[in-house]
Amino acid sequence: MPRVRFAPSPTGFLHIGSARTYIFNWLYARHNRGTMVLRLDDTDVDRNSDASVTSIFEGLSWLGLDWDEQYRQSDRLALHRAAAQAIFDKGRAYRDFNLAAAAETTERSGAAGTSRHGPMRELPREESDRRAAAGEPFALRFRVPEVAGHVGFADAVYGEVSKAFEDIEDFALLRSDGMPTYHLANCADDADLRISHIIRGQEHLSNAFKHQLIFEALGAESPTFAHLPLLMAPDGMKLSKRVHGPVVSVTTYRDAGFLPAAFINFLCLLGWSPKNDREKLTREETVELFTLEGINRANAVVKFTDEEPFDPKALWLNAEHIRAMAPDDLARELVPFVGPASRPVPSTSDVGQASRPVPSTPDTPPQATLPADSLAGSSISRHDESPADPALLDKLRHITPLIQERMKLLRDVQTVADFFFADQLPPYDSAELIPKKGDAAMAKSVLVKAREVLATAEFTHDGLDAALRAASVELGIKAGQMFEPVRVAVCGRKTAPPLFGTLEVLGRETCLTRIAQAIEKL
């Protein structure tokens, strides 16, 4: 049974790169019926923030991805210290009393021929013990073997990789304040939690050699590493909030109306392929198809621009998922995006200003955070704060079939179906009412005729179809010339969902009123 973990350091909002790493771990765990561990690597007390923890939980909860065990690295300090002690006792680490060593090392780098090790490496044990006993502060450094040789391992993605001992500096295990460094805490925890596969970003590939060394020194069996290619911005740079803005935050996607399943689909296709040309995948299908062998090695770029903040493929995938939904399910997802009260506020996604309700607290057991049915496809959304207005939901159920294949994002409901919700149509140019190859007079006669016909027509798709077509024949014009003025009168614009269904949903009264108003304009 594989055991994998996602170990974010809570120093910022949930980044889409982190989300992708989580997804790969989760897919591997679920595909192999293994265990997913969530561990908050909050070793860096100065940079940690509760808002960040909140952002991580909020994001994962939206995605509906669960986990089986949860830990906080800061709770495990004793374990880390014991690990450091064990390495020291084996002579694989030494005390470095030179607190300025880091600076010196940096200055020395580049100067060929100088040792990569600090000056304290050869300090006699007796002197080291004496100075430590006297209370002199020190950092504990790993003693990288000085013999010629390599550390290496078979990465599940990159294959055999190795690095010469002489290219690895004596890295710190414990800081001079006694706190463990990332490398130590990370490995001690992975060993203790019996993590079998470390699936993480490629930025850690170089660190993995150090980690391999630590696992060996600890006498622990080292896990299988699987490093993931990185996500890049179109400018070739690594994705960062600082330079790329909200596009790197998962809340941005949620607030714009991405479906969790589509977002997961998009992210997992960045650096992984099922190899059979399939693109649109449900979560269940992805779990079924996922293997480490399908992961490739080159970095992937997420396309976005200032004008179009979302990758076109992500948009297409979202549209595909939207079209694949049962209309009633879609209607439910749409509720939060209509109505002034519940409309989601476009968030700038800065965790610093996160103030909305948090679906879970860090210490809530995952079971409570994510009900079992969250995996069955029902997504969790922060918008579901209050029970949906039944009347609104019912209305949406009728509208959904008309707009389902005209949306890329859930929020598009606001632009594509606005006229269903407006009491009064926003002003439009009366010239819009004039049909192709027609004039104002034709528009007027069409609308007058429509008003007459619609007053008595059977208000169903087929009834309206028949009535309006018959009317066009009577007027001696093309059907299109008949439909166009009616559409504009009723929708306020030329581009709209199919006419008959639209009229039906709008209802006789509203249609007649709007047509009368249009006639006034001519």
Partner RNA sequence: GGCGCUAUCGUCUAACGGUUAGGACAGAGCCCUCUCAAGGCUUAAAUACGGGUUCGAUUCCCGUUAGCGCUACCA
161: contact with RNA by CB under 7 A: yes
Query: Could you tell me the CA-to-CA distances from 227 to 40, 199, 205, 347 in Å, in that order?
Result: 19, 6, 6, 32
With respect to RNA, which residue has the nearer C-beta, 19 or 380?
Answer: 19
Contact status: 82 vs RNA (CB under 7 A): no
Nearer to RNA, 294 or 463 (CB): 294
In the region spanning residues 9 to 38, those forming contacts with RNA, defined by CB under 7 A, are: 9, 11
| Of 50 and 394, CB closest to RNA | 50
Say whether residue 206 binds RNA (CB under 7 A): yes
Q: Candidates 57-65, 173-181, 368-376, 447-455: pick the segment binding RNA (CB under 7 A).
A: 173-181
Q: At what angle do helices 205-218 and 182-192 cross, to 10 degrees?
A: 60
Contact with RNA (CB under 7 A): which of 131, 175, 241, 397? 175
Q: Quick one: which segment of 51-59, 60-68, 155-163, 251-259 binds RNA (CB under 7 A)?
A: 155-163
Contact by Cβ (8 Å): 28, 197: yes
Q: Which of 251, 390, 262, 236 is nearest to 320 (CA)?
A: 262
The DSSP annotation for 442-471 comes to HHHHHHHHHHHHHTTS--SHHHHHHHHHHH
By CB under 7 A, tell whether 273 contacts RNA.
Answer: yes
421 burial type by CB count under 10 A (0-12 exposed, 13-18 middle, 19+ buried): middle
Part in contact with RNA (CB under 7 A); list of ranges 196-204, 334-342, 358-366, 507-515: 196-204
Point out which residues pair with 164 in neighbouring strands: 150
From 87, 191, 213, 230, residue interacting with RNA (rule: CB under 7 A): 230
Residue 44 touching RNA (CB under 7 A): yes
Indicate whether 99 belongs to the interface with RNA (CB under 7 A). Answer: yes
Q: CA-CA distance, 270 to 486, in Å (whole number)?
A: 46
Choices 52-60, 226-234, 243-251, 392-400; region in contact with RNA by CB under 7 A: 226-234
Query: How far apart are alpha carbons 502 and 518 in whole angstroms?
Result: 17
> Closer to RNA at the Cβ: 99 or 470?
99
Query: Burial of 118 by CB count in 10 Å (0-12 exposed, 13-18 middle, 19+ buried)?
Result: buried
∠ at Cα 260 (11, 253), nearest 5°? 55
Residue with tokens 């890049």: 232
Output 303 or 437, the one with its CB closest to RNA: 303
510 binds RNA (CB under 7 A): no
Instruction: By CB under 7 A, name the one of 77, 86, 287, 301 that touches RNA.
Output: 301
Shortest distance (Å) from residue 386 CB to RNA: 31
Q: Are 54 and 12 in contact (CB under 8 A)?
A: no
Number of residues located near RNA, criterion CB under 7 A: 86
Q: Which helix (H) or strand (E) holds 93?
A: strand 93-96
Decide: is 135 part of the binding site for RNA (CB under 7 A): no
Instruction: Give yes or no for residue 475 binding RNA (CB under 7 A).
Output: no
Q: Does residue 202 contact residue 229 with C-beta atoms inside 8 Å?
A: yes
The pair of structure tokens assigned to 338 is 């209509």
Output the smallest distance, CB 100 to RNA, in A.
Answer: 7
Q: Which is nearer to RNA, 151 or 370 (CB)?
A: 151
Reduce the DSSP state of residue 240 to 3 states and report it.
coil
> What single string gives the DSSP state of each residue in 20-83?
HHHHHHHHHHHHTT-EEEEEE----TTT--HHHHHHHHHHHHHHT---SEEEEGGGGHHHHHHH
Q: Does 297 interact with RNA (rule: CB under 7 A)? A: yes
Q: Is 479 in the site for RNA (CB under 7 A)?
A: yes
Task: Please identify which residue in 115, 414, 498, 521 interacts with RNA, judged by CB under 7 A.
Answer: 498
**Contacts to RNA from residues 237-266, by CB under 7 A:** 237-238
Complex with RNA: residue 90 or 323, whichever CB lies closer: 323
Stretch that binds RNA, among 19-27, 43-51, 243-251, 283-291 (CB under 7 A): 43-51
Letters for 311-330 (x = contact with RNA by CB under 7 A, - = none) are xxx-xx--x---x-------
Interacting residues with RNA between 381 and 440 (CB under 7 A): 405-406
Residue (209 or 337) nearer to RNA, CB: 209
Contact indicator for 387, 92 with CB cutoff of 8 Å: no
Closest-CA residue to 143 (of 188, 96, 97): 96
Task: Report, in Å, the least distance between residue 13 CB and RNA.
Answer: 14
Which helix (H) or strand (E) segment is 484 a member of? Answer: helix 479-491
Q: Which stretch binds RNA (CB under 7 A): 106-114, 376-384, 438-446, 512-520?
A: 106-114
Handedness of CA 393, 396, 400, 406 (dihedral sign): negative
Cα separation, 256 vs 258, whole angstroms: 6
CA-angle at 270, arms to 208 and 190, nearest 5°? 30
Q: Which of 28, 158, 263, 310 binds RNA (CB under 7 A)?
A: 158
Residues numbered 61-80 forming contacts with RNA, rule: CB under 7 A: none
| Minimum distance from residue 464 beta carbon to RNA (Å) | 9
Among 49, 74, 115, 176, binds RNA (CB under 7 A): 176
Is 473 near RNA (CB under 7 A)? no
- Cβ neighbours, 10 Å, residue 362: 17
Complex with RNA: residue 377 or 401, whichever CB lies closer? 401
DSSP 156: T
Residues 275-294 that bind RNA (CB under 7 A): 275, 277, 279, 294
Please identify, using beta-carbon distances, which residue of 106 and 355 lies nearer to RNA: 106
